Structure 1
Amino acid sequence: MSPLTRRTLIKSATVATAALAGGSALSAGQASAATFVKGADISWLPQMEAGGYTFRNSSGTQQDLFTILKGYGLGAVRLRTFVNPSNDPGNGHCSIAETAALAKRAKAAGMQVMIDYHFGDTWNSVGTQKPPAAWQNMSYSQMLDAMYDYVYHTMNVVKANGVSPAWVQIGNEINSGICGTTGSLAHHPDQMTGLLNAAHDMVKEVFSGAQVLIHLAQPQNYDSITAFLNAYRDHGGAWDVTAFSSYGSAGVAAGIVGNMNAARKTYGKPVMQVEFGGRYDRAAATEAALRAYITNLKSIGALGIFYWEPEVYTPFNTYNMGAWDPSTRRPTSAMDGFLNA
């Protein structure tokens, strides 16, 4: 499909989205009554396995990670993808070929899949939104064509692996926009919206049934959330679900989920928490926080929650908010937060 054809698609799709906004919100509201999704982002898994890391269940028996996660009631995984990543085990990999292969394993294990686009060669998050190096010096028009091509191609790679993602997240913690200044909220909210709508429409072109997520960090900072969502909505932005990252303790979960609920009501989209985590060496506190989030999210009809990289343990990475004990290679009690909640 040529860039010109994609430009035509996005214009028609954006008009249709605006015309059907009320119906879309109703459909999403009905979807929120479905089974609450419990999942995990396990994007580091292939690099861990390549390094000889293994996983034991709570009884100490070595098992495939997917089997262990399903034992805790998890039915979905979230998998990030970078554009042109390095081979660094912690900050690279996650090319679309690797991500699609992992998605294929997840499907074979009977789990749903979320694809998480970072739109960079490595991490993009609430404090950093750098475009891939190949896009760095592009004009907005060129970057728009690159976005069409990239998302259309990568979605077809996933499709070629026999996977139909339930959700596709376009951008990671994009409070400030995407792709540097070109798509920044502060400087070019119209271009930010154009780039994200291009991604949205190419996802829908390949997987019409996939739910497209807009992902924002720190919902405790509600002004930041509304600044983005107001600009995106007012410039014609299209999305199905508003997704959030939150790593707060049990004591603040109710207030943070309250802000998610306010966004749900204001913008007419269901909400989901796609990142949660807590200190592996403070497992009881992490378990309590996970239970608190699940309880509060269910109370507002949220779609689900994902633990961010629970399988990680040292010395693979210094990240200390996984849910595996490095000394035993067993899950900590933090994972019990998924049970009976």
Structure 2
Amino acid sequence: MRRRSLLIGSAAVALGVAADPPAAQAAAFVKGADVSWLPQMEAKGYYWNNSAGVRQDLFTILKGYGITAISLRTWVNPSSDPANGHCGIEETAQLAQRAKNAGMQVLIGFHFGDTWNSVGVQNPPAAWAGMSYSQMLQAMYDYVYHSCNVIKYYGVTPAWVKIGNETNSGICKPTGSISKPAQMTGLLNAAYDMSKQVFPSTPVLVHLAQPQNLASVQNFLNAYRDNGGRWDITGLSSYGQGGNVAPIVANMKTIQTSYGKPVMQVEYGGPVGKPTQVRDSLKAFVSGIKGFGGLGTFFWEPEGYPSFNNYNSSAWDEATRRPTVAMDGFL
């Protein structure tokens, strides 16, 4: 393992700050939500009512639905754009601390970019774009080591760390493209190793999208495994609805069985205008994933009002500020 040569910021210098004991992987099925937009929405005056129409802290409302875990994304050098920026490690750590203080487990998700990376886009941070592979490898060691120490400084031991976001085609392309599997694996293993150095007992996830396309997921996992890739849990995104859920769950089971790693659905959501459909599909995912021994399900940004983010995937009615029946899928 190469040694890190970095100057850690003030937030990470105090490594002796008391933190949680190492997080044990919860035996109970995890019900979670990604609420990374929360601070930016609050700063713009948005708020949330509970099902009775009473304004409450969002974490309090979520806990009422049995949600015990919060997923938070983080970007390397993000812009100040409210919907497509923020989420730098300092802000992410502060929100993680707030979630911890609300009694929630925390999943930290590294995108390894300055804004969204997803199944169709895997752009490196601008500061890394001109680097050679060896330079990028060192940057990955430094970045993840520093970021995990910032999280630790804020007194949070994540229950999970996710290295990459929907990485079917690789990370930090073209350097870490799946067409260069040894380099892709090297970058992700650097992230895995640094996460384990700071949080030895925290499981690390890789994250693939669209398990309905089983070959795409297997293509990544085969390349990663065959090049010595290290991971503890396979994270999967699926926004499947209705009759699509059952075959997707069957593929998730195949993925868990084939690679010997437990599966967690780290993203789910659906149209805000079809809350009954979203509820019933969520119930089907929860029961199906439970049925084959999967670990949990996370709803992606249920609090995200369309007027803020221009997305149609939400579980809150913007007119009433109340949760829709979609959230009942967790009950």
TM-score when scaled to structure 1? 0.90
Cα deviation for residue 318 of structure 1 reads: 1.2
> 1:145 aligns to what?
138
Counterpart of 2:227 (choices 235, 251, 256) is 235
Instruction: Please say which of residues 252-261 and 200-209 is displaced more in the overlay.
Output: 252-261
The residue identity in structure 1 corresponding to 2:84 is: N
Residue pair 1:250, 1:293 contacting (<8 A) in 2 also:
no
Cα deviation for residue 4 of structure 1 reads: 3.3
For 1:251 and 1:190, how far apart are their aligned partners in 2?
Answer: 38
> 2:116 aligns to what?
123
Cα deviation for residue 314 of structure 1 reads: 3.0
Instruction: Give structure 1 regions of 4+ aligned residues with deviation exceeding 3 angstroms.
Output: none
For 2:64 and 2:264, how far apart are their aligned partners in 1?
Answer: 22
Deviation per residue, 1:120-142 (Å, 9 max, x gap) = 00000000000000000000000
The residue identity in structure 2 corresponding to 1:68 is: I
Cα deviation for residue 31 of structure 1 reads: 6.1
Q: In percent, how many aligned pairs have the same letter?
A: 64
- Give runs of aligned pairs for residues 263-278 of structure 1, distance below 5 A: 263-278=255-270
Counterpart of 1:161 (choices 150, 154, 164) is 154
For 2:88 and 2:294, how far apart are their aligned partners in 1?
Answer: 30
Counterpart of 2:326 (choices 310, 334, 341) is 334
For 2:152 and 2:253, how far apart are their aligned partners in 1?
Answer: 33
- Give runs of aligned pairs for residues 199-214 of structure 1, distance below 5 A: 199-214=191-206
For 2:283 and 2:266, how far apart are their aligned partners in 1?
Answer: 15
The residue identity in structure 1 corresponding to 2:46 is: Y
Rate the CA distance shift 1:272–1:137 in 2: closer, same or farther, 3 A: same
- Give runs of aligned pairs for residues 86-125 of structure 1, distance below 5 A: 86-125=79-118
Counterpart of 2:247 (choices 245, 252, 255) is 255
For 2:157 and 2:145, how far apart are their aligned partners in 1?
Answer: 14
For 2:3 and 2:45, how far apart are their aligned partners in 1?
Answer: 46
Question: 3-state DSSP class of the match of 2:161?
Answer: strand
For 1:241 and 1:319, how far apart are their aligned partners in 2?
Answer: 28
Deviation per residue, 1:160-208 (Å, 9 max, x gap) = 000000000000000000001100002x100000000000000000000
For 1:70 and 1:252, how far apart are their aligned partners in 2?
Answer: 28
Residue pair 1:40, 1:306 contacting (<8 A) in 2 also:
yes
- Give runs of aligned pairs for residues 190-205 of structure 1, distance below 5 A: 190-205=182-197
For 1:41 and 1:207, how far apart are their aligned partners in 2?
Answer: 21
Where structure 2 has 5 or more consecutive residues not aligned to the other structure, the ranges are 6-23
Residue pair 1:56, 1:62 contacting (<8 A) in 2 also:
yes
1:287 matched to 2:287: no
For 1:314 and 1:80, how far apart are their aligned partners in 2?
Answer: 19
The residue identity in structure 1 corresponding to 2:3 is: T
For 1:139 and 1:159, how far apart are their aligned partners in 2?
Answer: 30
For 1:233 and 1:173, how far apart are their aligned partners in 2?
Answer: 17
Deviation per residue, 1:62-100 (Å, 9 max, x gap) = 000000000000000000000000000010000000000
> 1:24 aligns to what?
none
TM-score when scaled to structure 2? 0.93
Rate the CA distance shift 1:80–1:31 in 2: closer, same or farther, 3 A: closer
Cα deviation for residue 250 of structure 1 reads: 2.6
Question: 3-state DSSP class of the match of 2:236?
Answer: strand
Question: 3-state DSSP class of the match of 1:281?
Answer: coil
Counterpart of 2:306 (choices 310, 314, 318) is 314
Where structure 1 has 5 or more consecutive residues not aligned to the other structure, the ranges are 8-29
For 1:314 and 1:285, how far apart are their aligned partners in 2?
Answer: 18
Question: 3-state DSSP class of the match of 2:274?
Answer: helix
Residue pair 1:273, 1:304 contacting (<8 A) in 2 also:
yes
Cα deviation for residue 313 of structure 1 reads: 1.0
Residue pair 1:250, 1:290 contacting (<8 A) in 2 also:
no
> 1:17 aligns to what?
none
Residue pair 2:25, 2:203 contacting (<8 A) in 1 also:
no
1:74 matched to 2:67: yes
Deviation per residue, 1:11-57 (Å, 9 max, x gap) = xxxxxxxxxxxxxxxxxxx968x200000000000000000001100
For 1:315 and 1:230, how far apart are their aligned partners in 2?
Answer: 41
For 2:241 and 2:151, how far apart are their aligned partners in 1?
Answer: 36
The residue identity in structure 2 corresponding to 1:4 is: R
Question: Whose helix proportion is higher, 1 or 2?
Answer: 1
